[in-house]
């Protein structure tokens, strides 16, 4: 129940049991998707850092992709 209370369901304590489980599943799916997105962005950001063992052109392409992705997330 605290999962729902912490994620925008102030009346979760009054939900019927079936609805409670359904809403909890939706919240868990959303949190998992956000964690996967965060991990992907972190990997992309790290990959865009210049590295002596990677060709500079590859790093520049990843940096451009990273900046494009961040702008898209910000709605720019």
Determine the pLDDT at residue 59.
81
Determine the pLDDT at residue 9.
93
Mean pLDDT (the chain, rounded) = 88
Is 26's pLDDT higher than 90? yes
Q: What percent of the chain has pLDDT over 70?
A: 100
Domain range list for the chain = 2-74
| Helix extents (H) in 1-76 | 2-6, 17-47, 56-74
Is 47's pLDDT higher than 90? no
Mean pLDDT of 47-62: 80
Q: Is the CB of residue 5 less than 8 Å from the CB of residue 12?
A: yes
């Amino acid at each position: 129940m605290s999962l729902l209370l912490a994620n925008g369901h102030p009346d979760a304590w009054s939900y019927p049991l079936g609805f409670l489980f359904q809403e909890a599943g939706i919240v868990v799916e959303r949190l998992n998707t956000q964690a996967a997105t965060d991990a992907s962005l972190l990997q992309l950001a790290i990959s865009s850092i210049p590295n002596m063992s990677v060709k500079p052109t590859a790093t520049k392409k990843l940096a451009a992709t990273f900046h494009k992705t961040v702008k898209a997330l910000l709605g720019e």
